[in-house]
Amino acid sequence: MTNPTFDRMHQRTLPDELWQETFEFLARSSSGHLVKVCLLSRHLSRIARPILYRNLVLSDKDRPVGVSIARYPLPRAIKLLREDVALARCVRRLTLMSGSYGSSDRSPYLSDAKMLKNLTRLESIDLWGGVFYAMSKSSRTRVVNALYGLPELKILKIDDNSGLEQKHLDKIRDGGREA
């Protein structure tokens, strides 16, 4: 919901670059402030959202164990990054955390190939927990292909409990060539 009074009084009096610098400062102190800025107006949201999404953490920890994926759909952020390519290009660091270790009780869609393909400027990704455990073999292959297709990816951290097989890790490390 936008605030028309704020829009008229303040947003047009400062250049976007100054707003951006202000939001960069806010991002260093707390991302909660940027979320509130995004609610003030469309104009300020357009400036603040790329900063807000630069360092992104997605988790299925809050999903109750045993609740079906049909009743707990993809996190909204994943859907948004699948659809909004411009916003997806703003993500530089991504952390995916799953509470699933060897079971399919959690979301099998936390690692989404289409979303990952849109993250063309992603520099670093951390995969924690059983991110890959509940995925089908074909879905896992699509995600691995998306990972090694990211042109700016420099840092890939995967914990031992990710559910990713060594051959997939080798494929990512070797730039997509079959291990």
Q: Report the run of H or E that residue 156 belongs to, with start and end.
A: strand 155-158
> What number is the average pLDDT over the span 140-145?
86
Instruction: Give residue limits of the domains in the chain.
Output: 1-52, 53-179
Report the alpha-carbon distance of residue 64 to residue 50 in Å, rounded: 30
Question: pLDDT grade, residue 5 (50/70/90)?
Answer: low
Decide if 170 contacts 179 (C-beta within 8 A): yes
Is 155 strand, coil or helix?
A: strand
pLDDT at 137: 82
Scan for tokens 């707990």, then name that residue. 72
Q: What is the pTM of this model?
A: 0.76
| Backbone φ, ψ for residue 97 (5° rounding) | -125, 125
pLDDT at 57: 84
> What number is the average pLDDT over the span 13-35?
87
pLDDT at 148: 84
Cα Rg, the chain, nearest whole Å: 18
